[in-house]
Chain A
Amino acid sequence: MIDRDQVLHVAKLARLKLTDDEVERMSGELSTILDHIETIGELDLADVAPTSHVVQLENVLREDVPRPCLPREKALEQAPDATAEGFRVPSPAAHA
């Protein structure tokens, strides 16, 4: 139902590396789960509005007033790799 290629495509979208074993297992597990989920197809939902929020709230807005920011050291403190100024990452354009 969800084959190897689809699994690899979805894994790419989700930035998840999967080993060959994982791909195979994932394919089987997801297929089983999706089979169950597809029972929804038994229902006639054509005229039903989807629920995106259970709370009946609107216009929850915040005044445009500055609040204290984190001191830079605190902002960078948890980073696995940071310079004194910022978070370091491999350049998007670069390739290994």
Chain B
Amino acid sequence: MEAMTEQLGEHRYEPVIGLEIHVQLATRTKMFCGCKLSFGDPPNTNTCPVCLGHPGTLPVVNAQAVHFALMVAEALGCEIAPRSIFHRKNYFYPDLPKGYQISQYDIPIARNGELGGVRIHRAHLEEDAAKLVHAGASGRIHGAEASIVDFNRGGTPLIEIVTEPDIRSAAQAAEWGRLLRATLKATGVSDVNMEEGSLRIDGNISIRPVGQAEFGTKTELKNMNSFRFLERGLDAEIARQTEIVKGGGQVEQETLHFDPTTGSLSSLRSKEEAHDYRYFPEPDLVAIAPTEAMLEKASADLPELPTARAERFERDHLLPTDQAHLLAFRGELGDYFEEALASGGDGGGDLDPTALANWVTSELVARIGDTEPQDSNVEPAALAQLVGLVSSKTISRDAGKEVLDVLAESGGEPAAIVEERGLAMQGADELSEIVDRALEANPQAVEQFKEGKGKAIGAIVGFVMRETKGRADGGEVNRLIREKIGS
């Protein structure tokens, strides 16, 4: 990815971006208590004395959350700490019932990884805060506005992933974010849905003269809930910082919010003026020291990840890079492709993976939209058969699209549909005979073509297409006509 640089005076400036990602884990229960996780339930219906922070309560670590953390650590190529501990991060806010968050500080569970050319600084486990909802008209306290706290979300297990500031443009940030999302989705540890909040991305951005080692002052951009907004927000902030530096000013450290509807950045009131979290080791929890068995299970439960899968598609199936990526990064498409490929096609001849990939990523996707391919009416074996029929020139590509329309609508078997609708292209002899008749029927066109008017062939082709009800392969017709005319 090329760094985007801005010319400013004698300096060229480059953006320096690091991302901080919070991933809500798809465990059944919360990080430190047995309350179930379920989004969208009525407020305060999934709570207990522990996640409400009642006096005398104590946390107990969710084994599955640790398992997921080990999986993520491996998926991101991290070093796993032989022993990691929890810390208390102390501050006051209504969404934090204990007045501290149990997190990890200087000894996180994972460190020093890499994904898609971006280094991972660390990954650690922590608990999510509760939700503050503005009370609106229904609640004012002594004339002041009120909020309602809903503790359902409080205590949800989170993995926080922090990258090194290796990203050099907003576009790269968005693309890398998509790679991270696809990778995490493949592991199954989270729904990674940005709109629902199970994947949250904050960015740290600064700019510096190209070639300078020191970083400029960074700002933080929070809560962008799509990759498009992430990219736009980062671009906006880069532009803002560039303006400041151009004008001879200093970038101030602050936390910002990007409003995608207006495209503007605004400063967020910080939760604490003094970010003194007074971290100390959590005395109520003991260390996590992953055993051989725990590490093996994490490895065993990791499926093939997108980057590896894309590489395999390129290598083993000779798919072009962009097709390989498309299929690898959307797991369900990749699965569908592989299932179709395995079924062999039996439309005649070997199934060409690239041709199949093309049909999956363009024609199939166009017809089924957001539905998962496995849930569509098009069976993988059916698509494979269809692709085979087209490749072997049994039917034309256009006819193929027609068959796919039918499959998408109501399922079925391509061969049967071709038969039913008489979509089969003519055999070579039959076509040859029709071309002969076409030439007989259009002597003027033949003459004109012989004289060099290339467009005259159109009338002859048209005759053939009418005779074959459009099912002939246009290229083949063209070829036969020319062959027979003798030019």
Measured CB to CB, the residues of A under 8 A from B are 9, 12-13, 15, 52-53, 55, 57-70, 72, 75-76, 81, 83, 85-96
Task: Bin chain B's interface residue count.
Answer: 35 or more
Can you name 10 A-B pairs with beta carbons within 8 Å? A53-B281, A53-B287, A58-B83, A59-B289, A61-B60, A62-B60, A66-B29, A69-B45, A90-B144, A95-B144
B85/A52 in contact, CB under 8 A: yes
Segment of B133-141, B406-414, B475-483 in the binding face: B133-141
Taking the complex as formed, is B28 at the interface, i.e. its CB lies under 8 A from any CB of chain A? yes
Taking the complex as formed, is B374 at the interface, i.e. its CB lies under 8 A from any CB of chain A? no
- A61-B62, A64-B62, A66-B34 given as contacts; is B141 within 8 A of A85 (CB)? no
* Closest-CB distance, B271 to chain A (whole angstroms): 8
**B71-113: which residues lie under 8 A (CB-CB) from chain A?**
83, 85, 92-94
* Closest-CB distance, A49 to chain B (whole angstroms): 12
Taking the complex as formed, is B318 at the interface, i.e. its CB lies under 8 A from any CB of chain A? no
Report the separation of the CA atoms of residues A59 and B63 in the bound assembly, to the nearest whole angstrom. 9
A62/B62 in contact, CB under 8 A: yes
* Closest-CB distance, A53 to chain B (whole angstroms): 6
**B23-44: which residues lie under 8 A (CB-CB) from chain A?**
27-29, 33-36, 42-44
B64/A60 in contact, CB under 8 A: no
B27/A86 in contact, CB under 8 A: no
A70/B291 in contact, CB under 8 A: no
Specify which chain B residues have a CB less than 8 angstroms from the CB of A92 in the assembled complex.
93-94, 132, 147, 271
A89/B28 in contact, CB under 8 A: no
A62/B61 in contact, CB under 8 A: yes
**9 shortest interchain CB distances as A-B pairs:** A67-B34, A64-B64, A61-B63, A52-B281, A86-B148, A66-B36, A57-B286, A91-B145, A87-B149
A83/B139 in contact, CB under 8 A: yes
Report the separation of the CA atoms of residues A16 and B204 in the bound assembly, to the nearest whole angstrom. 33
A60/B61 in contact, CB under 8 A: yes
* Closest-CB distance, A95 to chain B (whole angstroms): 8
* Closest-CB distance, A59 to chain B (whole angstroms): 6
- A87-B149, A91-B144, A92-B132 given as contacts; is B288 within 8 A of A59 (CB)? yes
Report the separation of the CA atoms of residues A63 and B133 in the bound assembly, to the nearest whole angstrom. 31
Contact of B269 among A62, A69, A75, A93 (CB under 8 A): A93
Taking the complex as formed, is B170 at the interface, i.e. its CB lies under 8 A from any CB of chain A? no
Report the separation of the CA atoms of residues A9 and B273 in the bound assembly, to the nearest whole angstrom. 11
Report the separation of the CA atoms of residues A63 and B29 in the bound assembly, to the nearest whole angstrom. 9
Specify which chain B residues have a CB less than 8 angstroms from the CB of A66 in the assembled complex.
28-29, 34-36
Taking the complex as formed, is B427 at the interface, i.e. its CB lies under 8 A from any CB of chain A? no
- A61-B61, A88-B147, A91-B146 given as contacts; is B47 within 8 A of A75 (CB)? yes
B148/A87 in contact, CB under 8 A: yes
**B259-300: which residues lie under 8 A (CB-CB) from chain A?**
269, 271, 274, 276, 278, 280-281, 283, 285-289, 291, 294
Contact of A13 among B146, B278, B281 (CB under 8 A): B278
